[in-house]
Structure 1
Amino acid sequence: MILGEYSTPEALKNMHHTLGLDLPLWEQFVRFMKTLFTQGDTGNSIIMGTSARELIMQRAPITLLLILIACVLAIITALLLATVAATHKDKLLDHLIRIFPAITLGMPIFWVGILLILLFSVRLGWFPVGGVGEGFTGTLRSLALPAITVAFSQIPTLVRSLRAQMLEVLESDFVVTLRAAGIPSRVILFKHVLRNSALPTLMLLGVNISYLIGGTLVVEQVFGIKGIGSLLFTSISNRDFPVIQGIALYCALSVVIISLLIEIISWWLDPRTKGKQ
């Protein structure tokens, strides 16, 4: 692949020696693991000839920013919708919000992105069709629609989970006691109900992080964003295995780190841990 279709046997032999492919498999594996743990690298790109780690790090900031914005949008939207639904149980607003997850769960994420482009970029002209603008404001404006698209795939499950948990907490004995003590409903809702209801939903968000990252990579292709997603698809089409390995490794590492952070936040929010070291 590096030398081309019409390479000579001598050139192939020299390339095998350069890449270490003439070594025993165990020695190749040891060299690969040593490079992985000492340099955080999976090798050089077959197509570009540069370090896979450097290629990924060049694209990582825009992808991480997109994931962060999408997470914030998903959490804020889910909190608002679930709170409204739980406080208006079996009323019109509750029914409308409960229908929303049932409809949106069947929408492919790339299709949602295309619809948003047609509506807000092509017809209304509020946002750019694709790419990333210059400067902080231009970047945020360019990432608005992609972030909404990614968040759109996470909101339904979060709303459904948080609404169910809030209804359960609202009917618990300690909430009845707080109401009997004359504590305002707003204080009970935001200080006690949401805090106790958020834990299972937060754990669900941690489970969905891997899907969130995967959805981001697809959305980058739809909106023409030169992040890790576009690098991944280019590497797959060119069979650039070191870069594909590197992206898979760093995505897996990101899932582990984010899941650990969510575990820590859950421990901090859990009222049962208060007073403990």
Structure 2
Amino acid sequence: MSVLRFALRRLAEMVATLLGASFVIFGAMYLAPGNPASFLLAGRSASPAALRAINAQYHLDAPFAVRYVRWLGRLLHGDFGRSITYRTDVSRLLADRLPATLLLVAMALVLVLVVGLTLGRIGAVRGGVVDATILVTTALAVGTPSFVAAVLLQGLFALRLHWFPAGGTGEGLGQMLWHLTLPAVALALYLIGMLARVGRSAMLDVLGQEHVTVALSRGVPRHKVISRHVFRNALGTVLTTVGLIVSTLLVCTVLVESAFGVGGIGQLLELSITTKDFPTVQAISLIMVGLFMAVNLVVDLLHPLVDPRVAHAPGRSAG
């Protein structure tokens, strides 16, 4: 199957999956206890006429199927509805907050890939005390939840040493990068340990294969064998974990953004769930699902380039 046909098939699968996800996300919000009208009233009593007016304004009085079809139709036109909490268009809220979250996730992903792969490579190649030290360090990183790392980093580097801001996002790209450094480290720490261990294991497996032993016995420099054969072949295994890494980053960003006061969609999602802001929760949830699926598609397309032994065969789908 050609790459183009494979990509088109995967895109069709993405559309079908997003449609199913949209139904689940929309339905789950209305199965939750409470309702948006009670939040809008803020505990005040209201006449039946006032309740009817509120329900009509936010289309809460229509049957479930009608609400879903209307919501889906607006999504196709880029309309995510109106926020119940902020009384403004959800698309405007997302436009204001999404850049901070995307930059935070991108910074954390770069840290995970660079530091994790480097530690995994050093541990597999050097062995001995160096490998043991890396194993202990990565074990500690894996055992540290993101919110715990956020508290520790904030207390040490922001409040005690004053090297970084304790929260916020700042103005302009330069200040955003500075403000998001600690949140990115907190978000990436657990995944750095996980990827380092996965990369180390994959490289050790390749180091024990026959073609590597033969290349070394023929006098090929060890660093060339490591770079051209061992590391590249191990990347195929590492690449399959990228989807899991991105999904974990998207989930954990809610906790990290709240800890550091980052005005991203993670913090917005937490506030919206608390206040029963259904349109905002639905929009953010669907965006996260879409981002995760897009990353999986990119991974599937890149996999044959990293590992030529992998081909786009019929029936193969994203891992």
Sort the TM-score into its range (normalised by shorter chain).
over 0.9
Paired residues of 2:142 and 2:189 also in contact (CA < 8 A): no
Shift in alpha-carbon separation, 1:203–1:45, aligned structure 2, 3 A: same
Q: Which runs of 4+ in 1 moved over 4 A?
A: none
1:121–1:23: structure 2 CA closer, same or farther, 3 Å change rule? closer
2:77 maps to what in 1?
38
Equivalent position to 1:175, from 181, 198, 212:
212
Equivalent-residue separation in structure 1 for 2:102 and 2:260 (angstroms): 16
Q: How far apart are residue 176 of structure 1 and its match?
A: 1.6
Match of 2:139 in 1: 102
How many residue pairs get matched? Answer: 273
* Residue number among 277, 292, 295 corresponding to 1:240 in the alignment: 277
**RMSD between superposed Cα atoms in Å:** 1.8
The 1:191–1:233 alpha-carbon spacing in structure 2 relative to 1, beyond 3 Å, is same
Identity %: 34
- Mapping for residues 35-74 of structure 1, pairs under 5 Å: 35-39=74-78, 41=80, 43-74=81-112
After superposition, what is the alpha-carbon deviation per residue over 1:93-145, rounded to whole angstroms, capped at 9, x for unaligned?
11111112322222221111111112111222211111122232211111111
1:265 positional shift:
1.8
Match of 1:33, as an amino acid?
Answer: L
- Give the whole-Å Cα distance in 2 for the aligned partners of 1:12 and 1:143: 43
Partner of 2:9: none
Of 188, 191, 197, the match for 2:225: 188
Q: Which amino acid aligns with 1:218?
A: L
Separation in 2 of the partners of 1:181 and 1:153?
40
For residues 218 and 116 of structure 1, the distance between their equivalents in structure 2, rounded to whole angstroms, comes to 14
- The corresponding residue for 2:56 is 17
Letter in 1 for 2:244: V
1:24–1:108 distance in 2 versus 1, CA, 3 Å: closer
**Aligned counterparts of 1:145 and 1:21: Cα–Cα separation in 2:** 41
Q: Answer yes or no: is the 8 Å Cα contact 1:213–1:251 preserved in 2.
A: yes
Structure 1 counterpart of 2:306? 269
Whether 1:93 aligns to 2:150 is no
Give 5+ residue unaligned stretches, structure 1: none
Q: Is the 8 A contact 2:85 2:277 kept in 1?
A: yes
What TM-score does the superposition give when structure 2 sets the normalisation length? 0.81
Alignment partner of 2:190 out of 153, 159, 162: 153
